[in-house]
Amino acid sequence: MNDRFTPWWLGALVALVAMAATRGPAAERPNVLFLAIDDLRNDLGCLGVAHAKTPELDALAASGRLFTHHYVNVPTCGASRYALIRGRYPDVRAHLSNGAIASTHEQWAASSLPAVFRQHGYQTLALGKITHYPGGRTGRGWAEGPEELPGVWDRCWVPESPWATPQAMMHGFANGVPRVPGKSPAWEAFDGPDKSYPDAWVAADAVRTLGELARTQEPWFFAVGFFKPHLPFAAPKKWFDIHDPDTIPAPVVTERPAEPSGWHGSGEFRRNYGHDGRDPDDDPEYARLMRHAYAASTSYMDAQLGRVVRALEELGLADNTVVVVWSDHGFLLGEHAIWGKHCLYEHALRAPVIIRYPGMPHPGQASDAIVETVDLFPTLLDLCSLPAPEGLSGHSLKPQLADPRALDTKPALGFWTGGRRTVRTDRWRLIVHRQGNQGEAYELFDYQTDPHESQNLADRHPDKVAELRAILNAAPDPSRPAAKR
């Protein structure tokens, strides 16, 4: 072609075609379906838990990559979700609270996970509980205050439902009944359909939204947050009936640990719910009931999550969508005489992660690498070929996604209030307890010989304490009171 006689419009057309070829058509840019679960510990069938009935999550693990040793960075909802959304370890005290996002977002919202996707042409949607407040609002009923994370979502909402507010939905009992703090029971088994409880409404809205997204040309990042098995342990009776409570094992170690320890009084469980004078610590039948109700709530949530994944496949979207399942932390069900999270023990920090993407090699093979919540931000950007902002604490899990035998080279870090921090390697966990003017005290566990954390070996292995303490010396210290950046 002679450029002297090329019409201007033909040259422009050639340039546009070349640009499109460089970027790739919009249809080839992978979508992201991010499925968040609240308070789900590693009680899944695909993780070898015999009593678990989680066929939908098990099926997803069979077609993707299950990470058997994923650890959250803070054992409470809002702060764990801060680490996910910002991709950074907590570095000030505010980052350890459920208000971590709402109180600090002005400093970093523009470089958050959904913001990066939005800046690169993705639709961004958040349904249910993704940040701490379902629907993204603060204030009374979590419905009337400012946005928790403004400017990053094209839409952030909870479904229309019988529950009057997002807060009522979060702690909902059957058919729109809200929790009465300190009086409502910690469990409920209503003999009715799945839509008697909130997660079925979340699933229905997610399926409806996927149908709308299937008709769009732009790529999308769609985060769907389920409420169960978060307290109250409430689900339709049929999900209780599929479990035999006698097959759900009690913890091996149920005694309160000797000091120093991360034991606490299980305030969320004991103060926010009524127990009619019963205490699972000295009432084995009540403890069995709580574990039964947790398992039922997990199975109920699993079924709702399955509806969403099936819709993705039936709509023909699975071939161009990265799917992630993530839980914000675990939950102790009597281990160490704790009924809750809010500590740095294994059952509080270890939680499921599954990642699936089109063309993944070796699907169905699990990875035993030590990984952290902060690794998900760079991983998703890597899978979608998007640039990462500076300062992320984690690194991409693409090597483990390519080869499940690839192990990681960094430990997992955890942080909690009172200056407590922890480091987890493939064998060891060190927990550091700050004791004011008395310095520090330590818990050291060897999971190779003591998977139930029954023996504190800190006094026997001072060299190992020093080695692991050096890792924490290089990590952020979120005990500082005010944000510096």
Q: Which residues are catalytic?
A: 77, 132
Q: Which two tokens stand for residue 150?
A: 């403004």
Q: How far apart are CA 361 and CA 404, in angstroms?
A: 9
- Sign, CA torsion 464/470/476/477: positive
Q: What are the start-end ranges of the H helices in 359-397? A: 376-383
Q: Which two tokens stand for residue 121?
A: 């042409």
CA distances (Å), origin 460, targets 28, 136, 455, 465? 56, 48, 11, 9
DSSP 274: B
Q: Which of 436, 478, 440 is nearest to 462 (CA)?
A: 440
Helix, strand, or coil here: 119? helix
Calculate helix-pair angle for 284-314, 55-63, nearest 10 degrees: 50
Which residues are within 8 A (CB) of 396 and not within 5 positions of it... i.e. 6 or more apart? 375, 378, 379, 381, 382
- What b/e string do you get for 52-90 counting C-beta neighbours within 10 Å, with b at 16 or more? bbbebbbbbbeebbbbbbbbbbbbbbbbbbbbbbbbbbb
Q: Which of 245, 329, 357, 352 is nearest to 292 (CA)?
A: 245
In terms of C-beta density within 10 A (0-12 exposed, 13-18 middle, 19 or more buried), how is residue 479 classed?
A: middle
Q: Hunting for tokens 């080279």 — which residue is that?
A: 409
Helix, strand, or coil here: 369? strand
Residue 264 Cα to chain centre, angstroms:
22
DSSP 262: -
Q: Hunting for tokens 């499940």 — which residue is that?
A: 404
Q: DSSP readout, 193-259?
A: -GGGSHHHHHHHHHHHHHHHHTT-SS-EEEEEE--TTSSSEEEEHHHHHTS-GGGSPPPS--SPPPS
Q: How far apart are CA 296 and CA 454, in angstroms?
A: 28
